[in-house]
Structure 1
Amino acid sequence: MPGLQAVALDYDGTLTTTERPEQEVLEAVRETRRSGRTVVLVTGRILAELRADFPGVDGELDAIVAENGAVIADADGVHDVALPVDAHLADALAHRDVPLRRGRVLLACDARHASTVQEEIALLGLDCQISHNRDSLMVLPSGVTKGTGVAAALSQLGISRHGTIAVGDAENDHHLLETCAVGVAVGNAVDALKQRADVVLDAPNGAGVVELLRGPLLDGRERVWPERWQVEIGHTVDRGEPVRLPASQATVLISGGSASGKSYVAGMVAEQLVRMEYSVLLIDREGEHCGLGRKQGVLTVGGADPLPSPEQLVALVRQRAGGVILDLSLLADRNERAYLDAALPAVLAQREAIGLPNWIFLDEAHRLGVDPALSARAIDNAPGLCYATYQPRDLCDPTVDRIEALVVTSGGRDGAEEVLDFASELIGLPRPELAEELGEEPGRALLWRRDEGGEPVVFQPRWRSTPHVRHWRKYTDSDLPPHLRFYFHPHPQITAASNVRDLHRQLAAAPTDTVDAHARHRDFSTWTREVLQDERLAEAISRVEGRADAPNLPAGAVAEGIRRAIEARYLEDSSAMR
């Protein structure tokens, strides 16, 4: 099921201008549901009155959000999402001859009584709000809107609001349209709503709804990237202006040489999406993104713990508000491939059905071996994919052809030149010009968006609030091959350090003269630089090694200094760009 997974429709003035929608409108709604999409009615009407005017309305929809977001009717029955407006207000308004209708939660009356209603709310000291719907007025508990109601209803249905398109016509539809992925105003909508909507239909009310349900926007043939759903990834180098990526329905490639910061940027994008309440599945080959697991609603699985089965992974993704970090860093390549071959199809099938996860991140994408047909299906049917790699040419052609945004990170080592060649061809900019634009200064990046005329912009990536360390799990917990381990000479009885955690532990036990001798030869910083490829840690250790011959240096000071450098880099929080 390509495109968006759900539609949230206002009733009066949108779906119909009479008590019951026309037959063609109802048939378009039925077609939409038969396609596998969810349709939710979101109305200011009192539920009992709606059912009286339109018998059988419940059977035409997957859920009804009534009373402007205060009442939900679905397969589990009818339930209120807020306490009723204080009955004393109804009594006070009745004494002032204001005709009222009471719902389960709200009070409704004619909009001409607005000032009287406001006076009585103030006199009684109530925490209520007034919502207008053309000539009608509703009194609701504060904080209750169509947006909060539809979010609650979609959550109960297991559907993401970020995979939902909302349609309305009046003042009380603002929050509904802003809450969902795309907000649409029918042709007869009030001007204020049209100005805020992402899309304005040509046709009015029911005819406009039919136009939308049978048109290219819902099924993904056309995409809209609203301004409110953009991820801020940094600021331009020259003017300090914000640089943004679409937060939904996009295919993004982040590429650059090794150690250029591409995984940092990928994690930063994921972090922003989680903050915006998108559901993210990040497939982490190197254990670099475990810090994201500290975010509320995000769970890290795998690593030193057993991986969930494909069925369990799908269930976790469905239940997590923020997302899942899938840590594959301790798997052998063969086992990793077998796991992904089983898990990815299950994840994609769920995503096509209910839109979760909203995003899939594939870090070190060139080594994941994703089937080209599977990659093309994921992009076409449920876009929201981010690939990060220093070998972009190893991605399959269907992936490359569908890239809508490219981020190139500066500097780095392996693959930097190849990335520039690739980016030059994709963007259509001569390589020397592209290289000059980007520069070689670390901590810079270039963004190209297909939807913005193809003009690349150079920017400084924004800070992150969660720690990121290159190959954290790989170097802290995974055993390096024997020829890459650190050996303490001349003490063969000391076990070789097979990873950073081993080195950290053994420095505390190794003889002081042995540690100091290695430090004088810069062995620790050389190993860190050449094996771990971590220049920042190598520089920190090198500064410690430089003090090995200092007079009156306390015994064990060098070992302790290196241990602290390791702790600061790998074993404690750090928020600087890596």
Structure 2
Amino acid sequence: MRYHALACDFDGTIAERGEVDEETMAALERVSRSGRRLLLVTGRELDDLLDVFPHADLFDAIVAENGGVLYEPGRRAVHDLAEAAPPELVDRLRAAGVEPLGVGRVLIATREPHDRTALEAIRELGLELQLIHNKGAVMVLPPGVNKATGLRAALERLRVSPHNVVAVGDAENDHAMLAACECGAAVANALDALKHRCDLVLERPAGAGVADLARDLVDGDLADVAMSRHDVLLGTSQGEPVTIPPYGSVVAVAGPSGSGKSTTTSALLERLGEAGYQYCVIDPEGDYTDFDGATVLGDPTRAPLADEVLRLLEDPGHSAVVNLLAVPLRDRPAFFADLLPRLAGLRSRLGHPHWTVVDEAHHLMPTELADLPVSDLRDFGGLMMITVHPETLARRALEQVDTVIGVGADPSQTLRAFADVRGCPVPRLHGDEEPDATSSLITLWRTGEDKAVRVRLTPGEADRSRHIRKYAAGTMSPDKSFYFTGPEERLHLRARNLHTFLELAEGVDDETWTHHLRRNDYSRWMAEAVRDDELADAVREVEEDAELDPRESRERIAAAVDERYTLPAEPTRYDPDHDDDTATPLSHG
């Protein structure tokens, strides 16, 4: 089940003229009986709502005052989510004859055209407040308070992620709420602006439309609603973005050792985390212990406990890396077989984690495995298996893969392994992408298609930072360093990175500088060793400008480097790729 909660606006959505009809109430009750949470999110003051709506107890939480107040019907508990309305502003508005004027626990409410009076009073008093409009109604609230923030506060208490919520509304103040949820729906009577930005426009107005939405939610989990705005970027192919759906995918990332599987996986996890999706990485070799955005459970001396993994993941705001280094190799499949069904159970109950990532999947689900710990891998919402040898992965797991990401220069063996299991031809390769300085090529095959696409991977920020550190201030190996030799090769000055390159460039004589400039040595080094084609192109323009004197060409090249790389005061010994100093240097003489 993808959607575990339904969040509804009140006026103009489930209610018309303050009343909710029987059809709508019956539909909402059915949603509740399906095990889903119900939330009511309204701009009304709480007491006003409770006076006109006798069915508040049907809802698990009520957000009132446009995000300013949270009410838990089951506990009769009220929580203010922001500071109270400033009394001096209330007094000023009353003195100005503003009518109607409602004063809630957080909100001040009136109607147009008194918004101008409210703005003037806020300015004169030097207050930091915002005005929100809603079909002629005007609400004064603290900055940053809206239906989305109130809904998030309610969901945190329920341990439900916004990515498991459907929201429905009709007016201006519903924009933030619909955008914050996985699926935003607008009733037929909604404002056009809301319809244009939501994921689903209902055919009927107000409560009737909500009844239709509730029926489709319970009967089919809105499986027929096409969703794309949450798709996760993988990379580009022929200039167009290539994405992965955030739900319902069984992905295999496969390729030889050192080919970039962890780079690909880390990029996807980074973007999933940034988007608010929760993930759990099963990490047999400790490869994700430094991954930002997740809590690592277990280390080389202490095995993780399944119970602590589940406790952490109860909160959708925390992702987990389960480090199995302290689990003996022979015991890891059993640990995995125990944990996996429990993760599936947690996801069935709460809707998260949204992704489960299994590194070294061929060790945890080997080909000898007769039955998987969970028969239907789609029960995980999103599942990613990383493997060096797909042919050694359990056949039942291979059969359920719907997306293959082949990593490495030659993906044919990876594609063939999956095609053989599916009993279909190896897909033909499409696209002629080339790698650049900060990205590599991968191959994407959606197994229902007859072609695989070459994709330029969009790396994560961690990998971008690594690239910049390496080439800006790290220690490049001798064969990748630049050497100022001069026309007669009397010099042998090694630039280990861009930092020392610019330092040496300032100190060498004009004859040496110009010798390398006219040979295009600088741009060639930028392209071949630094692997930055954009920088190389900029430097090449300087090299080919015969009117520049040595001082001007130095300054122009230094500016091109500074524009792309933040250089430290001193270089470092950082070298992620090489730790020897014996390689044959790349000659620039």
CA distance in 1 between counterparts of 2:184 and 2:153 reads 17
Distance 1:25 1:402, change over 3 A: farther
CA distance in 2 between counterparts of 1:464 and 1:358 reads 19
Distance 1:269 1:368, change over 3 A: same
Distance 1:261 1:375, change over 3 A: farther
Q: How far does residue 225 in structure 1 lie from its aligned partner after superposition?
A: 6.2
Deviations 1:221-264 (A, max 9, x none): 6165644423223333x43x433222344333322333321222
Deviations 1:168-208 (A, max 9, x none): 11110000011111111111111000000011111211111
CA distance in 1 between counterparts of 2:342 and 2:427 reads 43
Q: Is the 8 A contact 2:6 2:39 kept in 1?
A: yes
Q: Among 311, 314, 324, which residue is 1:318 paired with?
A: 314
Q: How does 1:52-451 map to 2 (within 5 A)?
A: 52-57=51-56, 59-74=57-72, 75-76=74-75, 77-99=77-99, 100-215=101-216, 219-220=220-221, 222=223, 224=225, 226-236=227-237, 238-239=238-239, 241-292=240-291, 294-295=292-293, 298-319=294-315, 321-369=317-365, 374-379=373-378, 381-393=379-391, 395=393, 399-400=397-398, 403-411=401-409, 416-422=411-417, 431=426, 433-434=428-429, 443-448=440-445
Distance 1:227 1:131, change over 3 A: farther
CA distance in 2 between counterparts of 1:37 and 1:90 reads 40
Distance 1:44 1:340, change over 3 A: same
Aligned to 2:578: 540
Q: Among 452, 457, 460, which residue is 2:456 paired with?
A: 460
* Percent identity (aligned): 33
What letter matches 1:356 in structure 2? H
| More deviation, 126-135/220-229 | 220-229
Q: How far does residue 449 in structure 1 lie from its aligned partner after superposition?
A: 5.0
CA distance in 2 between counterparts of 1:9 and 1:349 reads 27
Deviations 1:483-527 (A, max 9, x none): xxxxxxxxxxxxxxxxxxxxxxxxxxxxxxxxxxxxxxxxxxxxx
Q: Is the 8 A contact 1:166 1:177 kept in 2?
A: yes
**Partner secondary structure for residue 282 of structure 2:** strand
Deviations 1:33-81 (A, max 9, x none): 2221111111111100000111241x11000011111100114510011
Deviations 1:297-324 (A, max 9, x none): x211123142333222110111362311
Cα RMSD for the two superposed structures: 3.2
CA distance in 1 between counterparts of 2:6 and 2:259 reads 41
Q: Does 1:20 align with 2:19?
A: yes
Aligned to 1:526: none
What letter matches 1:137 in structure 2? V
**Partner secondary structure for residue 282 of structure 1:** strand
Q: Is the 8 A contact 1:257 1:411 kept in 2?
A: no
CA distance in 2 between counterparts of 1:371 and 1:83 reads 59
**Partner secondary structure for residue 178 of structure 1:** helix
Q: Is the 8 A contact 2:430 2:453 kept in 1?
A: no
Aligned residues: 467
CA distance in 2 between counterparts of 1:190 and 1:426 reads 51
Q: How far does residue 387 in structure 1 lie from its aligned partner after superposition?
A: 2.0
Structure 2: runs of 5+ lacking an equivalent: 465-574
CA distance in 1 between counterparts of 2:183 and 2:248 reads 11
Q: How far does residue 542 in structure 1 lie from its aligned partner after superposition?
A: 5.8
| More deviation, 247-256/174-183 | 247-256
Q: How far does residue 408 in structure 1 lie from its aligned partner after superposition?
A: 2.0
**Partner secondary structure for residue 434 of structure 1:** strand
Distance 1:258 1:219, change over 3 A: farther
CA distance in 1 between counterparts of 2:127 and 2:421 reads 60
Q: How far does residue 329 in structure 1 lie from its aligned partner after superposition?
A: 3.3
Deviations 1:72-129 (A, max 9, x none): 0114510011001212222111122211011111011113322222222222221111
Distance 1:418 1:71, change over 3 A: same
CA distance in 1 between counterparts of 2:141 and 2:117 reads 15
Q: How far does residue 444 in structure 1 lie from its aligned partner after superposition?
A: 0.5
Q: Is the 8 A contact 2:415 2:427 kept in 1?
A: no
**Partner secondary structure for residue 12 of structure 2:** coil
**Partner secondary structure for residue 352 of structure 2:** coil
Structure 1: runs of 5+ lacking an equivalent: 469-536, 548-578
CA distance in 2 between counterparts of 1:218 and 1:126 reads 49
Q: How far does residue 215 in structure 1 lie from its aligned partner after superposition?
A: 0.8
CA distance in 2 between counterparts of 1:538 and 1:88 reads 61
Distance 1:391 1:372, change over 3 A: farther
| More deviation, 322-331/178-187 | 322-331
Q: How far does residue 364 in structure 1 lie from its aligned partner after superposition?
A: 2.0
Q: Is the 8 A contact 1:438 1:446 kept in 2?
A: no
Q: Is the 8 A contact 2:34 2:218 kept in 1?
A: no
Q: Is the 8 A contact 2:441 2:457 kept in 1?
A: yes
What letter matches 2:388 in structure 1? Y
Q: Is the 8 A contact 2:160 2:316 kept in 1?
A: no
**Partner secondary structure for residue 214 of structure 1:** helix
TM-score by length of 1: 0.73
CA distance in 2 between counterparts of 1:235 and 1:436 reads 10
Q: Is the 8 A contact 1:252 1:387 kept in 2?
A: yes
CA distance in 1 between counterparts of 2:258 and 2:66 reads 51
Q: Is the 8 A contact 2:70 2:154 kept in 1?
A: yes
Distance 1:217 1:262, change over 3 A: farther
CA distance in 1 between counterparts of 2:221 and 2:403 reads 17
Q: How far does residue 334 in structure 1 lie from its aligned partner after superposition?
A: 2.8
**Partner secondary structure for residue 460 of structure 2:** coil
Q: Is the 8 A contact 2:355 2:380 kept in 1?
A: no
Q: Is the 8 A contact 1:3 1:219 kept in 2?
A: no
Q: How far does residue 426 in structure 1 lie from its aligned partner after superposition?
A: 9.3
Q: Is the 8 A contact 2:289 2:321 kept in 1?
A: yes
CA distance in 2 between counterparts of 1:5 and 1:25 reads 19
Distance 1:465 1:366, change over 3 A: same
Distance 1:223 1:402, change over 3 A: farther
CA distance in 1 between counterparts of 2:105 and 2:274 reads 34
What letter matches 1:32 in structure 2? V
Q: Structure with the greater relative contact order (CA < 8 A, sep ≥ 6): 1 or 2?
A: 1
TM-score by length of 2: 0.72
**Partner secondary structure for residue 165 of structure 1:** strand
**Partner secondary structure for residue 127 of structure 2:** coil
CA distance in 1 between counterparts of 2:71 and 2:432 reads 56
CA distance in 2 between counterparts of 1:436 and 1:445 reads 11
What letter matches 1:444 in structure 2? L
CA distance in 1 between counterparts of 2:313 and 2:348 reads 13
CA distance in 2 between counterparts of 1:432 and 1:313 reads 39
